[in-house]
Amino acid sequence: MQFNLIAFIFNPLVLLFATMALGNLFGELKFRKFKFGITGTLFIGLGIGYFLTRYAATFAKGSKYYASAMKVMQGKVIDGSLMNLALLIFIVGTGLLAAKDMKYAINKFGKQFVALAIFIPFVGAVASYGFSQALDNLSPFQITGTYTGALTSSAGLAAATESSDSESRRLAQDFANQSQKAQKKILAIVNGAKVRDAKLRGTAVPDTMTLENTKSLSQEDVEVFVTEAKAGVGVGHSIGYPFGVLFLILGINVIPKIFGFDVEEEKKKYFAQKAIDIKNNEKLAASTMPEVPMDFVGFSLAAFLGYVLGSIKIYMGPLGMFSLGSTGGAILVSLGLGSIGKVGPVNFRMNSTVLGKMRTYFLSVFLAGTGLNYGFRVIDAITGSGYMIVIISSLVAILSVLFGFLLGRYAFHINWTLLSGAITGGMTSAPGLGAAVDALECDEPAVSYGATQPLATLFMVIFSIIIHKLPI
């Protein structure tokens, strides 16, 4: 019997399932009232990805395992097709689950929640892009990645990664026609990657590329830039995520103290008004449409139609060709079909437990893969210039929460019992929702979370794409 340890270590499925098992165990550990939950797979993946990359760097060219090592070095531990499939299943499950629980909130508070679902992601996008323009010494892709991280959006991360691939390739291939500012940023990213990889391999550092000696990029340099751009989004997201969660949880707990209102009194007012509303209008009661245990035809149809919708390209003037991508199309279609419930023999209202488990598992696949692919770059950033990414992530999260609260409280006069959930929904943060439910000691924040989170996810996808269409 033979056992090839090196091949075993480089096997993507071995790495993926080991990361998911360890990550889910880590996610269940409680740090006071907080636990990482499913996102534990991301952080374990980052650690494994870091050490795996250091190990891969020890294989010289010509080695039997050089090709496998190079995939690791390039951030391609887990194939992109598998990552996209996992995200698509997660998004469809999220849309079908959210569709059936939004009736009361949409009918009663729809306009306000729609505004918040758009406004909160918009604030984060403006803040993130503003920092990317103001700070020339940092990768703009890392900074824009903080947007999806600080707002804890996996769907936004997928869209940002997808759009950064095509847009960075366009920028690099058209290097000669870019502004001098853009050219400097492109060269800084390529030079930095080459220096890092040379030190990692213990080889000579190549000559620095400058505006004077570089009129265009070779195909190899284009690929380096594209890889670094995609990885930069993952780095920004991974660094930004924990700080987005942290400041959202802090915000939910300290906002009532800072702005001087009583949580218990807010709850009393809310429940009294809700009882009156339902008594006066029975249509506001929750939907009683029956669920089936699982309908794979319905689920697959939602995924297929979502993928088709996301593939449609629309000309957006100076923004060029625009599409929702597979994630944006999937969330929109699954919400629509979930609201309809049933078409002929095909069901779109499925058992919540089954959908929830399916959704969670495939989110775990995606997060584990993200960690494995970008682990080295994340830890390298934190120990180097990454402290600035931490500061930017924190500011993006704080501004999004604060402006969302101000709009909801003082412009829309939404009760804190619902507004707390609407803010976490606008931030697309399940851990944040847990903090809101904990802080208010009731499940009502989930009502507004369900009303805002799907639309906020959709606009996170849209804004993530638009950011990469803008000048770097």
| Residue 14 pLDDT exceeds 90 | yes
Q: Which of 45-59, 100-114, 125-139, 294-308 has the highest mean pLDDT?
A: 294-308
Tokens 């000696």 found at: 213
| Residue 302 pLDDT exceeds 70 | yes
| Choice between 149 and 39, residue whose per-residue pLDDT is larger | 149
Lowest mean pLDDT among 44-53, 171-180, 374-383: 374-383
What pTM value is reported for the model? 0.65
**Per-residue DSSP letter, 5:** H
> Residues of 56-70 as b/e, b for ≥16 C-beta within 10 angstroms?
bbebeeeeebeebbe
Please report the pLDDT score of residue 261 as a whole number: 83
Cβ contact 19:45 at 8 Å:
yes
The enclosing H or E element of 314 equals strand 314-315
Residue 137 CA: distances (Å) to CA of 223, 239, 379: 21, 18, 18
Per DSSP, the residues of 99-119 read HTT-HHHHHHHHHHHHHHHHH
Q: Which of 51-60, 143-152, 357-366 has the highest mean pLDDT?
A: 51-60
Domain coordinates of the chain in residue numbers?
76-160+232-364+373-467, 169-224
Q: Which of 190-194, 412-416, 440-444, 460-464 has the highest mean pLDDT?
A: 412-416
| Choice between 392 and 3, residue whose per-residue pLDDT is larger | 392
Mean pLDDT of all residues in 190-217: 79
